[in-house]
Amino acid sequence: MPAINRQLARQRITELGASDRQAARAVGCSASHLREVLAGNRKPSIELASRLARLIQVPLRSLLSDPVAQASALRRLRRAAGIKPGDFAARLGISAQHLRGIEGGWKSASPEVLGKAAAELGCEVTDIAPQQDAA
């Protein structure tokens, strides 16, 4: 069973204006089970994670990413390159606040932002956001 990016799932459910009960019905589980998954107390099956990704309109790969590991790697690489957060955010085309969220682990970077970050830092995207084994 995979771990999911709970913050992303909760954010997207909220943005879509769905209640936990509505989201649970849409993905085929009980509201209590979905709340346990979103709280981190249970891990979803890969099937449930896939249905949730479709519901919240994000790639399954994004839902399965680990924002804390991504945050740590991005912050470490940016600091090693000697780039100030505000300058880095401007280069990526995002706000400094958004970069703080990504580096803080409570926001996920889009694939586009990850690609720009990797190019700016002279590394591969996988150095910032290694893929998790979904099996």
Segment 75-97 mean pLDDT: 95
- Interacting residues of 107 by C-beta distance below 8 A, sequence separation 6+: 7, 67, 98, 101
State the residue for tokens 């290694």: 130
**pLDDT band at residue 132, thresholds of 50, 70 and 90?**
very low
Instruction: Give the whole-angstrom CA distance, residue 92 versus residue 60.
Output: 24
- Match domain 67-128 to its CATH number in 3.30.1330.10, 1.10.260.40, 1.20.1250.20, 2.60.40.4070: 1.10.260.40
For the chain, the average pLDDT equals 87
Reported as a pLDDT band with limits 50, 70 and 90, residue 133 is very low
107 — pLDDT class (breaks 50, 70, 90): confident
Q: Measured at the alpha carbon of residue 131, what is the angle toward residues 7 and 38, in degrees to the nearest 5?
A: 20
Centroid of chain to Cα 49:
13
CATH number for the domain formed by residue range(s) 6-63? 1.10.260.40
Higher per-residue pLDDT: 70 or 6:
6
pLDDT, tens digit (0-9, with 9 covering 90-100), for 14-54: 999 999 999 999 999 999 999 999 988 888 888 899 899 99
* Domain locations along the chain: 6-63, 67-128
Alpha-carbon separation of residue 79 from 88, 122, 130 (angstroms): 10, 13, 19
Residue 82 amino acid letter? G
